[in-house]
Amino acid sequence: MVNFYSLVVYVSSFIGLFAAIFYAINLYYYYKKYKYKESEDKTVSIIIPAYNEEKSIEKTILSALAIDYPKNKLEIIVVDDGSKDRTYEIAKKFESFKDPKLKVLKKKNGGKGSALNLGINNSKADIIFTMDADTFVNPSTVKRMISFFDNKLVAAVTPSMGVYKPKSLWQKIQHIEYALGVFLRKAFAVIDSMHVTPGAFSAYRRNFFKKYGGFDEKNITEDLEIALRIQSKKLRIENVPEAIVYTSAPKTFNELLVQRRRWYSGLIKNLWNYRNLFGINKGPLGILVLPLALMTMFVPTILTVYVVIKRLIKIKNDLDYLVIINYKFGSIFELNSYVFEKYLFSLFSQPLFLLSILFISILALYLFFSNKNKLDLTNAKLNFVFFLSFYLLLSALWWIISFFYVITNRKIIWRSEDG
């Protein structure tokens, strides 16, 4: 008889497998008629909001200055959001650059949304790019993204994102997570279901801000809110896998936890605020993508916690039994035999193990897609092992903490150093 746990896993696996096949089929037919194109027919403003970014702001500005785009159509605006370090001074020394034009603004600390809005209000271009202050862009990225604005219904365009030189364990896990996202973002865009425009280097049509307002300055995930707002106005968000951007990912466990607490709490709040996007009349976004986003909040978290607790109880009971029968824990042979018989054999004999292998294979195909689009996947095989070993547990932890913060209405800080 199938227990509740197995039923949930099988149903979730079926839905997940259906979604993966659905995304792949749509992407396949898209690329059958896809024609690669670059464009430089529009003026571009790159807005770089920065708060306490003295370690990375210089590299980010140099990356922006190296973008391959007509200099008379490109402007760069750095907005210092009341930094307490040397961010403003470092950025200011670049202001003498006139080709492309670069200017540095300074304001009181008010958050990323307010910094972006100040930059937008001081810009003049047709297309607005938002660029995080720890982001590095391939020179051809802008040309590759601009061409998608030829479609008048496109309000925003997103790139492919990778992790810049991952070194710590946590960065290596994110390395694979971001690479898997390359496939998913394009798959979502093909079915008009993009629901986030990453702050690292997304582009927006200026007219959208004029008509529907700027970034929500009180929102902790302004890039998610603006994407859902675009969807609510029945406009499109495109994605360009060939446009590569790298971001400096959190390197410590605490930094990563603070980031994900903000991301996940923001997702919960924004999905509630835009709950009208759910439903049959909203197409794949309302029928499949957003419901799956909800499912990934609850199902993996509940199941992971359930499995961990159940397994710990099982191990304790087994050890208690072995103590009673005077099991020889000092014998390596007997210990290895016990582990193999009780756990490995049990694992390999379960149908769920075969489902896991299937999904791992699907993830590997996602990585192949990222590699085909020239994303840097150095050491991907080893990092993939780290990802498979830890990601579910980490994700469950992030969701549990985020739910706690939302339910208790606790303040969510932007970064760990903000205290």
* CB count in 10 Å sphere of residue 20: 19
Distance CA 189, CA 236 (A): 8
Q: Tens digit of pLDDT for each residue in 91-130? A: 999 988 777 889 999 999 999 999 999 999 999 999 999 9
Q: Tens digit of pLDDT for each residue in 207-234? A: 999 999 999 999 999 999 999 999 999 9
- Residue 207 forms part of a structural domain: yes
Question: What domain count does the chain have?
Answer: 1
Distance CA 359, CA 355 (A): 6
- Residue 228 forms part of a structural domain: yes
Q: What is the pTM of this model?
A: 0.88
Give the list of residues 6+ apart from residue 81 with CB closer than 8 angstroms, or none. Answer: 49, 50, 51, 107, 109, 110, 111, 112, 114, 115
**In the structure encoding, which two tokens stand for residue 7, read together?**
């039923």
Supply φ then ψ for residue 47, to 5 degrees: -100, 125
Q: Tens digit of pLDDT for each residue in 243-253? A: 999 999 999 99
**In the structure encoding, which two tokens stand for residue 145, read together?**
């993204």
On whether the CB atoms of residues 171 and 251 are closer than 8 A, the answer is yes
- Residue 101 forms part of a structural domain: no
Q: Which domain holds residue 375?
A: 1-35+151-419
On whether the CB atoms of residues 243 and 138 are closer than 8 A, the answer is yes
Crossing angle, helix 253-273 and helix 290-324, to 10 degrees? 130
Q: Which element (helix H / strand E) includes 48?
A: strand 44-50
Q: Which amino acid is at 314?
A: K
Report residue 41 CA to chain centroid gap.
30
- Residue 3 forms part of a structural domain: yes
On whether the CB atoms of residues 76 and 50 are closer than 8 A, the answer is no
**What percent of the chain clears pLDDT 70, i.e. is strictly above it?**
89
Q: Where are the alpha helices (DSSP H) in 66-216?
A: 87-92, 112-121, 141-146, 169-190, 206-212
Distance CA 250, CA 239 (A): 24
pLDDT at 67 over 50: yes
Q: Tens digit of pLDDT for each residue in 371-385? A: 999 999 999 999 999
- Residue 43 forms part of a structural domain: no
- Residue 114 forms part of a structural domain: no
- Residue 128 forms part of a structural domain: no
- Residue 174 forms part of a structural domain: yes
